[in-house]
A and B are shown apart, each in its own frame.
Chain A
């Protein structure tokens, strides 16, 4: 099967900062989670794949087209849905007007067909009832769903979502996960997130980035397995653990290299993620005896 995205050796520098360094990636249908600490290059990778910025080096195709050419870029954009990290809104727009505006940018020029499509996507994200409300009067979660609706206009084959659940309360986050899961049926979705729960609940594949490079590419189960036999419980904090903390049960959960005879625990995706980042220069990860590195936990 032809992959939706095929990238090889993508590199991008901003001044002296190496944002992407030889990133290679293949994406196919399904939801792929992109995990990584702040500054890992997640947003930059998403923006490159969404054709917002060009890479300095490397080759890639999206939906079989080369975004390096003007024609190829246009073809990709016709089948792309993009929810940026901080989607901007015109606060005086209603939800309908905002999505309608994006639909026009997506070349839906026939008024009747365009309005039908706007109603369809607003219904898909559950905003039919507030479609006439000004965006400034909607909650953060509703505004985020409006932006998702805008990304879904035109039924894109490739959906790029940059931290869509950030800032949402647990109920809104769960609602958003349902929407993403629904949107991922039959599409390729690339989801950048800090939330390992998002990946565990939504994704059939996960990519971990740090310092501009890919450090893990596999299934969530495989990432979780990275921590297999490396999480254990103890009555006191184990000084040999790379990180440990008291749980609600009163015992300590330790992560690292367990002593012989340790009471091993079932690892989580987050354990696997943090152990994957451990030891990567300049990232943070797990500091011995110091608990989770601030950046890795962010």
Chain B
């Protein structure tokens, strides 16, 4: 865009022009008023007009008042609009609706759980690699990997962990929908990272993927139980149950080199069945997420009792 400091049509440089020496050419201002000025000149004009009273005055004379109001509203909207981060931009390009992206990306709880999961997975990868190098088995990796999505999901929603939970629970958007949006995001991220960690263990072949079905089973069970037990107790019980199961399986196996029962073909089948049943139960109990689980906690995060 060209700015002309000597353009008589613009009233000349400086003067009462809001302290700006440069002004938008009158022709561009007329195009701007008609809504016909194209980017990037449009962006430059937007930026300049916010700081230059002179050009705003010229624009006001050139513009249809209705069109001008609409232009200001559009400008206001653009200035106010939250700036999408990298992930949000990516999701928007993939066709995800703007409001869904905001729900996903503008949730610090989710980000925190995300970071926790990332760090844990990275540590896990290192530990699993070392473990595999000495025992010839990915058992530790397979045991811990299913807990990560369970942890991530547990951290993404609930009265104790979401500062806006009380406002969200009385909003017309169904709590189950919000829960599912966040769950999909967390599962997508953590399962993806688990998958990358699996790729770092190529010598185990498909056996290194035996965490996937248990991960889905634990996450679905944790969510289903959360409908009745709340978002802290339910995943804690499920995680504890998983560890107990592995310890029992470890005690019961015939040889140290045998895979633990959950990682055998039969165990994988059981995991798949549990995942499906838990998902069904979760769907049946979906309305329970529309009410505050912490009935006596004054709204959860705030914690005020029965004031």
Q: Interface on A for B, CB 8 Å cutoff?
A: 12, 14-15, 17, 19, 38-44, 47, 50-54, 70, 73-74, 77-78, 80, 82, 84-94, 96-97, 100-102, 104-109, 111-112, 114-116, 118-119, 131-132, 147, 150, 163, 212
Given known pairs A43-B304, A74-B172, the reply for A87 and B99 (CB within 8 Å) is: no
Are A105's CB and B178's CB within 8 A? Answer: yes
Provide the residues of chain B in CB contact with A85, threshold 8 Å. 298-299, 302, 304, 307
Determine the residue in chain A with the shortest Cβ distance to B81: A115
Docked CA distance A19–B301 (Å): 19
Are B108's CB and A105's CB within 8 A? Answer: no
| Besides the known contacts A87-B167, A105-B173, A115-B80, 4 further A-B residue pairs in the complex with CB atoms under 8 A apart | A38-B307, A43-B298, A84-B299, A105-B168
Q: How far is the CB of B183 from chain A (nearest CB, A)?
A: 17
Docked CA distance A70–B177 (Å): 14
Q: Interface on B for A, CB 8 Å cutoff?
A: 73, 76-77, 79-82, 97-99, 102-103, 106-108, 162-174, 178, 287, 290-292, 295-296, 298-299, 301-307
Docked CA distance A54–B287 (Å): 13
Determine the residue in chain B with the shortest Cβ distance to A153: B171
Q: How far is the CB of A69 from chain B (nearest CB, A)?
A: 10
Docked CA distance A87–B171 (Å): 14
Are B76's CB and A111's CB within 8 A? Answer: no
Docked CA distance A100–B299 (Å): 21
Are A77's CB and B165's CB within 8 A? Answer: no
Docked CA distance A164–B15 (Å): 48
Q: How far is the CB of B15 from chain A (nearest CB, A)?
A: 27
Determine the residue in chain B with the shortest Cβ distance to A106: B171
Are B166's CB and A88's CB within 8 A? Answer: yes
Are B296's CB and A52's CB within 8 A? Answer: no
Q: How far is the CB of B71 from chain A (nearest CB, A)?
A: 14
Which of these, B99, B108, B295, contacts A14 with CB under 8 Å? B295
Provide the residues of chain B in CB contact with A147, threshold 8 Å. 167
Q: How far is the CB of A110 from chain B (nearest CB, A)?
A: 9
Provide the residues of chain B in CB contact with A73, threshold 8 Å. 290
Docked CA distance A92–B304 (Å): 24
Are B306's CB and A52's CB within 8 A? Answer: no
Are B172's CB and A88's CB within 8 A? Answer: no
Are A14's CB and B296's CB within 8 A? Answer: yes
Given known pairs A70-B290, A88-B166, the reply for A109 and B306 (CB within 8 Å) is: no
Most buried by B among A12, A43, A89: A43
Provide the residues of chain A in CB contact with B171, threshold 8 Å. 77, 102, 105-107
Given known pairs A19-B306, A88-B302, the reply for A115 and B295 (CB within 8 Å) is: no
Docked CA distance A88–B174 (Å): 19
Provide the residues of chain A in CB contact with B164, threshold 8 Å. 87-90, 101-102
Docked CA distance A90–B290 (Å): 21
Determine the residue in chain A with the shortest Cβ distance to B178: A105
Task: Write 26 A-B pairs (CB below 8 A) sorted by A numbering.
Answer: A38-B307, A42-B307, A44-B306, A47-B299, A53-B292, A53-B295, A70-B287, A70-B290, A78-B172, A85-B302, A86-B299, A86-B301, A87-B164, A88-B164, A89-B164, A90-B106, A92-B108, A96-B82, A101-B102, A102-B171, A105-B167, A105-B171, A106-B171, A106-B173, A108-B99, A132-B79
Are B76's CB and A119's CB within 8 A? Answer: yes
Determine the residue in chain B with the shortest Cβ distance to A111: B98
Which of these, B82, B99, B170, B303, contacts A97 with CB under 8 Å? B82
Q: How far is the CB of B298 from chain A (nearest CB, A)?
A: 6
Docked CA distance A54–B290 (Å): 10
Are A87's CB and B166's CB within 8 A? Answer: yes
Most buried by A among B171, B292, B298: B171
Given known pairs A74-B172, A106-B173, the reply for A90 and B107 (CB within 8 Å) is: yes
Are B99's CB and A88's CB within 8 A? Answer: no
Are B292's CB and A43's CB within 8 A? Answer: no
Are B167's CB and A40's CB within 8 A? Answer: no
Provide the residues of chain B in CB contact with A74, threshold 8 Å. 172, 174
Provide the residues of chain B in CB contact with A38, threshold 8 Å. 307
Determine the residue in chain A with the shortest Cβ distance to B101: A104
Which of these, B76, B81, B107, B291, contacts A54 with CB under 8 Å? B291
Are B80's CB and A119's CB within 8 A? Answer: yes
Determine the residue in chain B with the shortest Cβ distance to A103: B99
Q: How far is the CB of A172 from chain B (nearest CB, A)?
A: 19
Are B304's CB and A82's CB within 8 A? Answer: no
Which of these, A15, A41, A52, A97, contacts B169 with CB under 8 Å? A52
Determine the residue in chain B with the shortest Cβ distance to A15: B296
